[in-house]
Every structure is written in structure tokens, then in C-alpha cells.
Structure 1
Amino acid sequence: MIKDIKTALEQAKALVFDFDGTLVDSNPIKLGAFDKCFIDYPQHFEAIMAYCKNNHHVHRHIKFRHVFEKILKMPYTPEIEKRMLDLYDLETTQKVIEAPEIPGATKFLDKFAPGREIAVLSSTPHDTLHTILEKRGLKKYFTKIQGAPVYKTDWLKQFLTEQVFKKDEVLFFGDSADDAQASENVGIPFVAVGETKLSKATYHIVNFEGLS
């Protein structure tokens, strides 16, 4: 395993990125949207927000179902699902489009995207992810874009197989323990992005400044 992240980057043939909290500072937006979605359930607010915060990279469909069935003890009907998803989208998509990037992210992509496979792998719904990337001017950097529904471990395994990369030729950038676990499951180096140091990370960066 290469000890220096700059050397690892120079030798990498593919870079895979989580989106929220990795390329864009959007996690507070996503978490804050649940305030609005569950404003009518103040007696359960603390439990709801604790669950959402501790599972912030779990797909919104799963979160809403869990909250209704396990915390609110209410049926999660198709009508409720549509209402909650529409409200969540209204509270997040445009704000994520306008959110600040993780410092240095665009310059980093400018430097390292040419000549490499560059993928984004996110729990944001697939069509919404495409819209956000397009509006932010980021879509041009990515050779592969995958949003939810997706299991990151399975997608990474397929990516390695299809592209015929060696495991040490791919770096996965993310900001959560779930991202780190997916990397470990597949056996590829993981770059933790942000202030939190994840125990399973191969490398850790606060942001992308200094790498481009």
C-alpha cells in the first residue's frame, strides 16, 4: 500500500467520489430538511433526528419508512411516501445546487480528471443527482454517475470488474463510515474527507486544498 496520498493519486487510474459531504458541503442541508418533514411530530423529534443524523448516508426512502414504522408506529403508505419525498426534494435540491463546495474540489477535479475514470457514487436519487451535477457544472468531470437506489459495495465490485482495474489503482473518496466499509468490503483504498477521522480510512484529508 502506498503511504503517501499524493503518490497514490498520481498512480491511480480511477477515482470514485461520494457526493454529499465529499465534494459539496451539503450534509447540513440534508439533515435540516428532516426538520421540515417531521415538524408535525414534535413528541418524537429527538428520536427522529438522532436516527437521521446517525444514518445520514442511508437513502431517504429507507429513512422515511424507518421513522414512520419504527418510531412513529404508523403505516407508511404510498401516499405518505410521495408526500414526504416531494417535500424533502423541495427542501434540498436547489439548496444543494447552491451549496459551497468542499474547498478545492473543483480544482482537484480539473487536475486529476483528465486521463482517468472518474465516477460519482451517491445515495442521492439518480435523476436528482444528474440534475444537481448539471446545474453545478460538475457533470463534465464524470465518466460514470450512479445515484440511488444503489448498494455501494456491489457497485464498486462491478466497477472493478468492468474496468479491469487492480484494487490499488482505484481510490474511493467519502465522508462516512458506510463509505469506508464499502471500500473495505471491496479491498480498495479509502480517502476520508472532512474533520472526522474514520478508523478504516487509508488516507485522510480535511478538504482538497493542497492536492491540486
Structure 2
Amino acid sequence: MKPIISPDTILVFDKDGVLFNSETIKLRAFEDLFLDYPEHAEAIHIYNHESVGRPRAEKFAYILREILKRDDSEEAVAGYMERSKTMLKERLKEAPMIGGLKDFLAKHDSKLKFVCSVAIPEEVNDQLSFNGISGMFEDVFAYPHDKADVLSSIKEDYGDDILFFGDTLTDYEAAVKADVAFVGIHATEYPSPLAEKDVRLIGDYAELA
């Protein structure tokens, strides 16, 4: 059987839940922005957890339009995006890297590596820089880039031996659409949405040593 990582494999990583154990922090911060609407807290919580991996602007738009029934939903999204950015700038500093990540990146220092996230570019770059790993990646793709399109573009430019690390169904679906290999990361106490899929699921990068 061909090894999961060959000498020519290009490594592509989502950010939240894949490079950093930050998904729980982001989910909580997202809901904290709606504390003024306690009567909708349960509906917001359910939607927030069911839509992990979707762009934040899309999630804000849905909640404002479909749950809060606000007439100014389109205009309000920009304000929520700005408040979210400010809140996460500090909170994400508390998010640790996924176990074994730094050693794994160092081990594969000679390989091409990319980040492919739906988080906003400033957030992605700040978190990579704060943790001292920004220089380990060839390029960083963030919102509004579509993950499947990014993977297909990397495939076209650099070759088709690509391994994408993700933690959500949207990550898995992007890998399937782009026809690239996929490994799921599951580093939280919550059940993995990938548990029912035929994918390799790991808790930290030491498992690939």
C-alpha cells in the first residue's frame, strides 16, 4: 500500500481544529455576540454547531435573517464581522496548537505546505505569526476563497499528490470535489462529524510519525 505521505506529497491544512485547537473558542465567541437575544440562544447554538466550517459572514447573515428576523440583516453583517474580529484577536491567543504539529511540520520541512481556511485572512495570518509557524507555509488561502477551488488550483500548479487535513464535513467534501487525499483531525471532546466517513481520523500529528 502506498504510504499516506510520500516524498512528493503536498500538505494542505485547514486552520481551526486542524492547526489549532480553536474551534471551541470560536464557537463560544460567535454565540457571545448574540447575548442580547437570550430568547434565541438555543436556536443560535444549534445552528452554530451544525454549520461548523461555513464562512462566518454566511452564518451571521443566516442568523440575522432567519432567526432574529432583522430587516437590516445585510447591513448588519459587516458590524458583526468587525466585532467578531476584535473579540477573536485576543481569545485565539489562548488556542494551543494541535498535539505534535510543530514536530510534524519540521519533519516535513522540505515539502510544500499550504493553509486553506474560511477564516478571514487577518485572523489566519495573526494566529500563524503568534505561534511562530507562519514561515513554514508556501502560501495561505483564506476567506473568501472556496476550499475545493483552492485545492484544485494547488493541484493544477504543483501536482496531484496532495493530502488535505480537515476536521469538518465541508473539509471532507472539498477534498472529494477536488479529488485529493484526506485525513480527518479530531482533537476535541465533541463527536467528530467525520466519524461516519471512510477516512483516516487522528487525534494528533504524532500518530503520523
Q: Same fold (TM over 0.5)?
A: yes
Matches within 5 A, 1:5-154: 7-75=3-71, 76-78=73-75, 80-112=76-108, 114-154=109-149
Matched, 1:179 2:171: yes
State the distance in 2 between where 1:140 and 1:47 align: 40
Question: Which amino acid in the other structure matches residue 162 of structure 2?
Answer: V
Give 5+ residue unaligned stretches, structure 2: none
Measure how far apart 1:8 and its partner are. 1.9
> Which segments of structure 1 move beyond 4 Å, counting only runs of 4 or more?
none
CA distance in 1, matches of 2:140, 2:45: 29
C-alpha deviation, 1:199, in angstroms: 3.6
CA distance in 1, matches of 2:110, 2:147: 24
CA distance in 2, matches of 1:194, 1:12: 25
User: Structure 2 counterpart of 1:126, which letter?
Assistant: P
- Shift, 1:77, TM fit: 4.1
2:183 aligns with 191
Task: Answer yes or no: is 1:211 the counterpart of 2:203.
Answer: no
Matched residue count: 203
Map 1:151-162 onto structure 2 (within 5 A). 151-162=146-157
Q: What is the letter of the counterpart of residue 119 of structure 1? A: F
| Structure-1 separation of matches of 2:105 and 2:135 | 10
Q: What's the counterpart of residue 199 of structure 2?
A: 202
Structure 1 contact 34–88 (Cα < 8 Å) conserved: yes
TM-score with structure 2 setting the length: 0.90
Structure 1 gap ranges (5+): none
The Cα of 1:60 is off from its aligned counterpart by: 0.9
* Cα distance in 2 for residues equivalent to 1:22 and 1:185: 20
